[in-house]
Amino acid sequence: MVWTLAGLFAISALLLIFSILKSTKALKVEHNQIDLIHISTMKEINALQESVRNIELDIEVVTKEAGIPLAPEEKLLKREVLDLYRRNYSMESIAELKQVTVTEIEQLLAPYQEVKVEGRAVANEN
């Protein structure tokens, strides 16, 4: 009886040690996967930041080459107005939000509006 209890106790101790070793290996694998995901996410973030920096520099070069002097406030207003327009706000609501007249909004958006071709193809009625 004592030998049986001692044997069962030894087996349970071995199983406990085995399970601890297994769980630490699984934990290390999981930790490595998390690290890899973190690294790839950081690489993507750095690439996006680099792209944004390049776009900002390109815009600055284009505005300098075009000779269009804009104050930071003007740039911000144009950006916000264009964003609202692209999100399908009406010109009246944009003017109300920005506290300017509708004609000013129309003048700001004139270069960015697409010309709509009205009319349709006429089919032969023969």
User: Tokens standing for 23?
Assistant: 């769980």
**pLDDT tens-digit profile, the chain (126 residues):** 888 989 999 999 999 999 999 999 989 999 999 999 999 999 999 999 999 999 988 887 887 778 777 777 888 888 888 889 889 899 899 999 999 999 999 888 888 777 655 555 555 555
User: Tokens standing for 100?
Assistant: 């300017």
Task: Give CA–CA dist 104/56, Å, rounded.
Answer: 26
Task: Give CA–CA dist 92/68, Å, rounded.
Answer: 27
Largest interatomic CA distance in the chain? 108
Instruction: Please tell me whether the overall predicted TM-score, pTM, comes out greater than 0.85 for this model.
Output: no
Task: Give CA–CA dist 108/110, Å, rounded.
Answer: 6
